[in-house]
Chains A and B, each alone.
Chain A
Amino acid sequence: MVEPVFIMDTIENSNKRKVVSQWVQQHGNELYSWAFHKTSDEATAQDLVQETFISAFQHFDNFQKASAPKTWLSSILKNKIIDHYRQKATTISTQNPVNTEDETAQWFDSDNRWKEEHRPEPWNTDENLLDNPEFETVLSSCIGKLPVSWSTCLQLKYLSEKDSAEICQELSITASNLWQILYRAKMHLRYCLERSWFKA
């Protein structure tokens, strides 16, 4: 004789499963596209999406019926992405410590004035650069040239301000402040953009 409570529970679970499986079909592509955009890696993005749906099933009771499933799923995925970066940060900082030398110091002369080669030159940003896919490619390639720990910080900063401060501190060995890491990252990025786009 099966307990009635157990049967109720099973029915409920199968309903949840049905709903979440439907979400996989309805929202799978969008979530996957977003995860890929954030992580630039197909396998990672697929894992994160899978974890998102599993988590949605496990925490189904937290889902407010009034809110859109997509919004709820996106917020779970966002947390998964932040966790992913946090794990990555730990791995990077133990396996591959950040270069202690601040090479941007070499871009200034002995009086700490810009060296000619590095002095900023005017950029032509009038045209609608932000919608230009070629510029987007150059930007991605310049970000890709940064040390992994810096680009992780840079991308994380705009994803979640609070987590980025915490994670980037774990990442950094010499520069103890987030702004110092971002300063160095932006100096490199600026130079790269100037040479590969604005003066190219």
Chain B
Amino acid sequence: MMRLMNILMLSCRKATELMEKKLHTGIGPLENIQLFMHKRMCDGCRLYEQQSRFMDIILRRKSTKPENDCDQKALPAEVRRQIVNELEKL
């Protein structure tokens, strides 16, 4: 029984690593069970997983913000002139 418990027990460090790995390359069936068991017992890692997902959402949203949703900045007039000049040279 102790041996079985040892096989099923993960450390918090390993558990959090597996959560990230799972998203990218996937993890094996045993690792999945280990992770499941660990999360049932560990509040810290359960919170970590929720927060990791939350960070994914905010990072994706930040990175994929559509062009027309960005704070508008004006392309300076001299840069416009310079671009048009460059086009003339081509």
Binding site for B on A (CB under 8 A): 13, 17, 20-21, 24-25, 28-34, 36-38, 46, 49-50, 53-54, 57-58, 70, 74, 105, 108, 111-114, 119-123, 125, 129-130, 136, 139, 154-155, 157-159, 177-180, 182-183, 186-187, 189-190, 193-194
CB neighbours (8 Å) of B12 from chain A are 108, 112-114
Docked Cα-Cα span, A36 to B74, in Å, equals: 11
Contact indicator A50/B71 (Cβ below 8 Å): no
Residues of B6-51 at the interface with A, using a CB-CB cut-off of 8 Å, are: 11-14, 16-17, 20-21, 23-25, 44-45, 47-48, 50-51
Contact indicator B58/A130 (Cβ below 8 Å): yes
Partner of B73, one of A32, A50, A157: A32
CB neighbours (8 Å) of B75 from chain A are 24, 28-29, 31-32, 46, 49
CB neighbours (8 Å) of A129 from chain B are 58
CB neighbours (8 Å) of B54 from chain A are 123, 125
Annotate B68-87 by CB proximity to A: 1 below 8 A, 0 otherwise: 10111111100110111011
Docked Cα-Cα span, A183 to B15, in Å, equals: 12
A-B contact count (CB 8 A): 137
Given A54-B90, A154-B59, 15 other A-B residues pairs in contact with their CB atoms under 8 A: A17-B90, A32-B75, A33-B73, A34-B67, A36-B73, A70-B67, A108-B12, A112-B13, A113-B11, A114-B45, A120-B44, A120-B45, A123-B54, A182-B24, A190-B52
CB neighbours (8 Å) of A29 from chain B are 72-75
Contact indicator A21/B20 (Cβ below 8 Å): no
Docked Cα-Cα span, A190 to B45, in Å, equals: 13
